[in-house]
Every structure is written in structure tokens, then in C-alpha cells.
Amino acid sequence: MSDSLFDLAVSLTSLKDWLKEHPGASFSSSNVEAHVADSIALTAFRDIANDGKHRVIRKYTPQTMNVSASATDSFQVIAIAGDDSGASEQAKLFYRLKVIRTDRSRHRATNLGHDAIREWQTFMKAHELVV
């Protein structure tokens, strides 16, 4: 798993924890938990953060089974350098991280990241925490 994915998971989960500890006039700790429970993205990142920090999740049943990486195709790229050396270099491999849920559904980590951020923005706007 990439460090970036873990860092995002910890940040999103820390936001949940902070909101639960500082409820506002328009929401309670249970509203925060319900918002997370209703979200594939937020529950996935909660599971990733807790697994990475604690290695074993005991307080709830995780809904995320695994995070896997797959490489995109690679190909040869001809260097156009003007020196006619004919040199070529191998293209870099780019990895796609997939989050696999216990229901066997697979989700691209980048899509889940966008969804999670959007879902927290929606929660904050609904409770007038941001304009």
C-alpha cells in the first residue's frame, strides 16, 4: 500500500474523530458515525487507517478486505534527441491501487479518495461548518 493512501486514510479518519469529539449544534457524534457508515469511501479509509495503525481491528467488523496494486502496461519509448543515437528508455510503470471490500467489490483508490473528500464537504456544508 502506498504511503500516500495511508496518509489520506489517517487524515480522513482523524477528521471523523475530531468531529465526534467536538459536536456542533446541528450534529452529534452519532450523526458523524452514521455519515461514515453510509459511505463506501469513508468506511474503506477508516478500515485502512485503523489496520495500518493497529494491525488488528477489534472494535468493529471491517468492510475492507485488502488493498492491491496493479501496474499499467509498459512500452518502449524512442528518445527523440537530435543526436540520432537511437537510444530508447523503458517507460515508467504506473500502479493503480484497488481497494477490495468484503463483499468482493473493487474500487480504485483515487476514486474513493475523491468520493471521501466530497462526502466530508457535503457533511460540513449541511451542518454549516464551511461556507
Are 12 and 49 contacting, i.e. CB atoms less than 8 angstroms apart?
Answer: yes
Q: What pLDDT score does 114 carry?
A: 97
Q: What pLDDT score does 55 carry?
A: 84
Q: With 0-12 CB in 10 A as exposed, 13-18 as middle and 19+ as buried, what is 54?
A: exposed
Q: What pLDDT score does 14 carry?
A: 96
| Residue of 65, 76, 54 whose CA lies nearest to 107 | 65
Q: Which alpha helices (DSSP H) does the chain contain, by range?
A: 3-21, 29-37, 40-54, 109-126
Q: What pLDDT score does 89 carry?
A: 56
The rounded distance, in Å, linking the Cα atoms of 47 and 41 is: 10
Is the pLDDT reported for residue 93 higher than 80? no
Is the pLDDT reported for residue 64 higher than 70? yes
Provide, for the chain, the percentages of residues in helix, strand and coil under a 3-state DSSP scheme, each rounded to the nearest 5: 45, 20, 35
Q: Mean pLDDT throughout 72-100?
A: 61
Q: What pLDDT score does 54 carry?
A: 85
Is the pLDDT reported for residue 75 higher than 90? no
Q: What pLDDT score does 58 carry?
A: 85
Q: What pLDDT score does 10 carry?
A: 96
Q: What pLDDT score does 52 carry?
A: 86
The rounded distance, in Å, linking the Cα atoms of 31 and 47 is: 19
Is the pLDDT reported for residue 28 higher than 60? yes
Q: Mean pLDDT throughout 55-69?
A: 87
Are 52 and 59 contacting, i.e. CB atoms less than 8 angstroms apart?
Answer: no
Is the pLDDT reported for residue 25 higher than 70? yes
